[in-house]
Amino acid sequence: MNIARREKMVAVLGAMVGVLSILMPVPGALGQTGPGYQELFQDPARTDQLTRADLPNMGRLVVLEATSMFVHARSELRDSPDSYRLLDEITTLWNAADAFTAAVSFYPLESQRIQAGRLTFPELEEAFYRVKRTLGTLPGMATRTLENFVNMYRVVAVIGPLLEQTPPGPLVVEDPREFDPVVITNQARELSSAIVPLKTHVKAETGRGVKLETLDREIDVLEKLIQGFERISSGGANERDLVASFRPIRSRAQRINRELQRANLAGAGQGLWRTIEQQISDLETRFQIPREIVPRPTGAEVRSPDLAVVAPIDLAVRNLDALVDRIASENPRPPQRDRVQADASRLTTRLFLVRQYLLGQAPREQVNQALVDLEMSWRQLEDRMMRPSQGNPESLQTLRREVNEVVARTREQISRSR
């Protein structure tokens, strides 16, 4: 009976992955094996035909299994008082697998993709072992959840060796396509401009008695997310931070799409939204982010965030901007001035990433990690600003107080969401 169930599970997984490979093609990154990778789920597993080109599909397999595991765990362990912890950790694992897939798919050169994979795989591996530890401590029967975990283990086990695999044959120099932050910044500005007419139209329709309150709130959140993404893109952020700041925009757009299916929005409003949706899709294509496969959220999870939670961050950013401008005008020595501005730019990016995560209602673990990065960036800037002739102590004290308030308010916010 168990053998039959296992064979059925493997067949279903192969079919699902086959569909996923059609939905999310990876140009120039197809491996030697079929999209189902059935040989991974044989006993013993065969990995001799896998190459580095299969890494994006390995990441997608983990994403697929994490999705299925989340659904099964929520069903099979619904009576367990600690099941929420496992669900949170599966969500974190899903995000880590998604980030890994994006990393090994994004860059034009294989050497760049492998380096990005080596940087992101430890986070995926750590999230996987957290799920393993938690799953082992929960009481109750969770057969399908465990099957998902076993399948996931087979995939995760081959990713590390593939990242360290020596490429066969002579080194081939590929034609690189430069990652152009200027183009992305311009796209972010166009997206920010496009949201304004839609917001005006929806508010006008609401004023005429059309019930669009939920849609109006969702668009307000999307507008703030787009503003944050625009600011991060214009601040010289790296690719990883740009992708991280864009993901909440894509998720919010999906929620707006679902709301538009229920709302009675006039044709003009639908046309405005289609323009925005296409611009978001263009950015998604540029970032090569895989299509999301997530369970439909429950009623308790779809509430829009309180926009007041980002007010302390906005205040800190305004004061940080003013502080940097003043330092630039007062400090004539370019090396010292440039270092302070670079540290301040990193701190601004960290503040806005926390802002994006709060507005996007990201998992607690993701927000906590963003806060750790924020505090590290602040300490670096603080250390430089405390050196002689690098800044006004009163301005530094004000900024210190505001950064601490951002961290404290954010931790309070995510603790209330438990």
Please report which confidence band the pLDDT of residue 377 belongs to, taking 50, 70 and 90 as the band edges.
confident
What is the spatial distance between Cα 97 and Cα 54, in angstroms, rounded to a whole number? 14
What is the spatial distance between Cα 354 and Cα 366, in angstroms, rounded to a whole number? 9
- Residues 137-152: what's their mean pLDDT? 82
Cβ pair 366, 251 in contact under 8 A: no
- Residues 143-157: what's their mean pLDDT? 89
181-301: what fold? Four Helix Bundle (Hemerythrin (Met), subunit A) (1.20.120)
φ/ψ (deg, to 5) at 72: -70, -40
Q: Would you list the domain boundaries of the chain?
A: 2-163, 181-301, 307-416
What are the CA-CA distances from residue 137 to residues 72, 83, 149, 171, 342 (Å)? Answer: 17, 10, 14, 47, 45
Give residue-wise pLDDT tens across range 330-371. 665 666 667 777 888 888 899 899 999 988 888 888 888 888
Q: Judge if pTM exceeds 0.85.
A: no
Model pLDDT, residue 69 = 92
Give residue-wise pLDDT tens across range 119-144. 899 999 999 999 988 887 776 667 88
Which H or E element spans position 170? none
Higher pLDDT, 417 or 83: 83
CA–CA–CA angle 75, 76, 82 (5° rounding): 95
In this predicted structure, the answer to whether residue 294 has a pLDDT above a threshold of 60 is no
Cβ pair 402, 312 in contact under 8 A: yes
Nearest C-alpha neighbor of 212 from the set 264, 271, 266: 264
Burial class (CB in 10 A: 0-12, 13-18, 19+), 25: exposed
Model pLDDT, residue 331 = 60
The helix, strand and coil proportions of the chain, stated in percent and rounded to the nearest 5, come to 75, 0, 25
Least confident of 60-64, 104-108, 306-310, 325-329: 325-329
What is the spatial distance between Cα 110 and Cα 29, in angstroms, rounded to a whole number? 9
Higher pLDDT, 326 or 357: 357
On average, the pLDDT of the chain sits at 77
Tokens of 53: 């080109």
Cβ pair 230, 191 in contact under 8 A: yes
Cβ pair 381, 328 in contact under 8 A: no
Give residue-wise pLDDT tens across range 271-280. 888 899 888 9
In this predicted structure, the answer to whether residue 94 has a pLDDT above a threshold of 90 is yes
Cβ pair 272, 201 in contact under 8 A: yes
Cβ pair 72, 145 in contact under 8 A: yes
Give residue-wise pLDDT tens across range 200-250. 888 888 776 667 788 888 899 999 999 999 999 888 888 888 888 999 998
Nearest C-alpha neighbor of 357 from the set 313, 397, 291, 298: 313
Give residue-wise pLDDT tens across range 2-60. 444 444 444 444 444 444 443 343 333 333 333 356 666 666 566 667 888 889 989 99
307-416: what fold? de novo design (two linked rop proteins) (1.20.1440)
Please report which confidence band the pLDDT of residue 292 belongs to, taking 50, 70 and 90 as the band edges.
low
